Amino acid sequence: MNRREFITTAAVAGAGLLVLPSGVRGGEKAPSNKLNVALIGVWGRGLAHYGSLAEENVVALCDVNEKRFPEALAKFPNAKTHVDWRKCLDQKGIDAVVCCTADHTHAFVANWALNRNMHVYMEKPLAIAVEDARVVRANWMKKKAKLATQVGMQRHAMQNFNRVRELVRDGAIGQLTAAYAWGDRQIRRPGYLPAEGQPPEGFHFDLWLGPSPDHPYNPGYFSGGPGMNCLSWNMYWDFGVGQIGDMGSHTMDLLWNAIDATLPTTAEAKGEKFNPDVTPVECESHFDHPANDWRGPIRVSWYQGGAMPASPKPYVDLKKIDHGAMFKGTKGYVICDFGSRLVLPFGDDSDLTYYKPRTKDAVLPPLGHFQKQWIDACKNPSLKTACDFEYSGNMIEQLLLGLVAYRVGKKLEYDGAAGKVTNCPEANELLSRKYRAGWTLNG
């Protein structure tokens, strides 16, 4: 059983087994069986966590918009409120953090929480710059034996993820040679919004900007419904990475789960004309990955905003799949969306005699409830999570490197151990971001 299959199995074995000392902060025992949780970003995506957090002690609520507190306090009346996540993390006794803020603050909150020995559930994307993802991953790797992490790629719990993995891993398409994922969400914006009006009372816009460069307030950044407002700001370079941090994180996960990859050795990309304000809508990026212990070297590709991989056969219209993945092997293809898959044997010798479906008892078990998997792992450090900061950090680092390749317009040679592009100095300049004075990434 390899690492990812162990994780799924271990998670199921651990579900419901609260026999170990729990309420663990960084491996220390806490007096109760419940975690003391800080929820940072309480509305929007934050609302989706109310259910799983209701069984824990939510002791701190943090939001830059004070208008969001009454609803959150109605659910978690014993919590203290904060508008600045840095002050929130100073509150004594916090075991674990669930963070649903805007993308440009994710790596900051993750590092600060890990550095204070708190477990972290971070909404996707984990980071919006290569270097930021690397710092978060490194911080967690030092503490992985005692801290649980999870990135909010909750579709990972859909059973089709395991079924796709089994088909690819067990040779239904022969030897894997390439994998492709795509998403066709297209939200076009010309540039940052102009100054308009003033932030409403109780809305701390400067804290919302946080580490990002200064921009004037405009209500257009905050006009979306709960859980959808990210589509009002995530396409701007200073606040997000567009498709990659949006549906791309979910869809690449469908692919990533099946290939056991770490970091690529090359990256190249092309897309629509560069806009210094807004991330590209149409873009495609390609990465070379070395062989691992069960497959040879493969090429991984990400397509977005209308760019699509070629279909293996004209009768398969990949465009009918909004967000999907395809795996190419020596004997055919697996094509899938989040909930279903099809196998397309290809070539004269693709008679499937080389493929033996798993017996019922060898089929990968369901992951269960995705947020609960993290809560269980916070309480019992021997349990693993499916989308920890290593798995998810590698995944987002690859996609973010693709955006760098898009910006410089060259094929990049990447030294993943060092986090350096070896053939293009200007690309190295784009691996990290410049932050506003007063904000520390790894504080």
Ligand X SMILES: NC(=O)c1ccc[n+]([C@@H]2O[C@H](COP(=O)([O-])OP(=O)(O)OC[C@H]3O[C@@H](n4cnc5c(N)ncnc54)[C@H](O)[C@@H]3O)[C@@H](O)[C@H]2O)c1
Question: Is the separation of the CB atoms in 347 and 331 below 8 Å?
Answer: yes
Q: Which is nearer to ligand X, 84 or 170 (CB)?
A: 84
Contacts of 344 (CB under 8 A, 6+ apart): 312, 313, 316, 332, 333, 334, 335
- Measured CA angle at 223 (ends 434, 400), to 5 deg: 35
Least distance from ligand X to the Cβ atom of residue 228, Å: 6
The closest alpha carbon to 22, from 410, 427, 377, 385, belongs to 377
Q: Which is nearer to ligand X, 187 or 352 (CB)?
A: 187
Least distance from ligand X to the Cβ atom of residue 175, Å: 33
Least distance from ligand X to the Cβ atom of residue 366, Å: 19
Q: Does 62 bind ligand X (CB under 6 A)?
A: yes
Judged by CB under 6 A, the stretch of 39-47, 133-141, 166-174, 279-287 that binds ligand X is 39-47
Which parts of 268-307 interact with ligand X (CB under 6 A)? none
Q: Does 126 bind ligand X (CB under 6 A)?
A: no
Q: Does 156 bind ligand X (CB under 6 A)?
A: no
Q: Does 132 bind ligand X (CB under 6 A)?
A: no
Q: Does 217 bind ligand X (CB under 6 A)?
A: no
As a whole number of angstroms, the distance between CA 325 and CA 253 comes to: 10
As a whole number of angstroms, the distance between CA 202 and CA 223 comes to: 16
As a whole number of angstroms, the distance between CA 292 and CA 182 comes to: 24
The closest alpha carbon to 214, from 243, 240, 238, 246, belongs to 238
As a whole number of angstroms, the distance between CA 423 and CA 421 comes to: 6
Q: Does 152 bind ligand X (CB under 6 A)?
A: yes
The closest alpha carbon to 287, from 270, 302, 308, belongs to 302
Q: Does 50 bind ligand X (CB under 6 A)?
A: no
Judged by CB under 6 A, the stretch of 64-72, 140-148, 345-353, 381-389 that binds ligand X is 64-72
- Options 95, 123, 132, 284; binder of ligand X; rule CB under 6 A: 123
Q: At what angle do helices 391-408 and 247-259 cross, to 10 degrees?
A: 120
Judged by CB under 6 A, the stretch of 9-17, 34-42, 156-164, 344-352 that binds ligand X is 34-42
Least distance from ligand X to the Cβ atom of residue 117, Å: 21
Contacts of 253 (CB under 8 A, 6+ apart): 153, 155, 156, 161, 387, 392, 395
- 125 upstream amide cis, omega within 30 of 0: yes
Tokens of 6: 């162990």
Q: Does 81 bind ligand X (CB under 6 A)?
A: no
Tokens 């309420």 found at? 23
- Options 63, 132, 284, 397; binder of ligand X; rule CB under 6 A: 63
The closest alpha carbon to 255, from 366, 331, 332, 338, belongs to 338
- Options 14, 37, 39, 46; binder of ligand X; rule CB under 6 A: 46
Q: Does 35 bind ligand X (CB under 6 A)?
A: no
Q: Does 371 bind ligand X (CB under 6 A)?
A: no
Least distance from ligand X to the Cβ atom of residue 349, Å: 41
Q: Does 118 bind ligand X (CB under 6 A)?
A: no
Least distance from ligand X to the Cβ atom of residue 239, Å: 9
Q: Does 161 bind ligand X (CB under 6 A)?
A: no
Least distance from ligand X to the Cβ atom of residue 439, Å: 11
Give me the residues that bind ligand X (CB under 6 A), please: 40-46, 62-65, 68, 85, 100-103, 105, 123-124, 152, 154, 207-208, 210, 227-230, 245
